[in-house]
Each structure stands twice: as C-alpha cells, then as structure tokens.
Amino acid sequence: MLRGRETEAMARIRVMDLEALKPREPALVSMNGQDVMLYRRGAEVFAIGNTCAHEGGSLCDGWVESDIVTCPLHGWEFDLRSGACMTIPGESVTRYTATVEDGGIWLEETP
C-alpha cells in the first residue's frame, strides 16, 4: 500500500505518481488513515473509499465494468463517480476528487 507523501493546503494530498497507476488496474492508497481505491481509465482517475459499506470487502479486489465496481464478497455495486451504492439505495462509500498535477495523483475528500 502506498501512503500519502506530500500534503498541500488543507486536505489535498498527493498519493501516488500517475505513471505508477496502471490503466484499468485498481490500486490501494491511504488518505488520512482511510483506504482509498484508485482506478484509471484513459485520462480519468476515479477515487472512492475502498471498504465496502456492507461488510468491509476490499473494492480493489473487485471488478470494474463501465463506471461500476462490484465488491468481491457479496456483489454490492458502487458508482466510481459518486460512491453511491447501486445495490442498496442510500448506502455509499466516500467519494474523493482526484486530480493529476505535476505527474502525481492528488486526492481531496468530496462531501
């Protein structure tokens, strides 16, 4: 697991080099002690909380189709853009805003 190496302003943290995130291969990073799943598709980088809202499965170990990641344990589905659970309305994981700057991926928790 990679850890945040640099901080900027309040809660914006550089979590990894862009070139280290392989397209279509989820990666696990940590931000403020929380596990975060990163996923890169083309120029886009998605970031959501890695811990499934059901029973804590690791979403990084799941599979992604379109904008949806499926938890490997019991199949709950989460939207990579919003963190919303598509299986149980009202459930969600944390959503982060991911930006690419200076060759790095920066995360900011999104309310």
55 is a site residue for ligand FES (CB under 6 A): yes
- How many Cβ atoms from other residues are within 10 Å of residue 16's Cβ? 19
Counting residues that bind ligand FES (by CB under 6 A) gives: 10
74 is a site residue for ligand FES (CB under 6 A): yes
H-type alpha helices, the chain:
none
76 is a site residue for ligand FES (CB under 6 A): yes
52 is a site residue for ligand FES (CB under 6 A): yes
- Minimum Å gap between C-beta 14 and ligand FES is 29
Distance, in Å, from the CA atom of 69 to the CA atom of 39, rounded to the nearest integer, reads 10
Strand partners, 44: 41
Interacting span for ligand FES (CB under 6 A) from 3-11, 23-31, 38-46, 51-59: 51-59
- What is the bridge-based pairing of β-strands 77-79 and 68-70? antiparallel
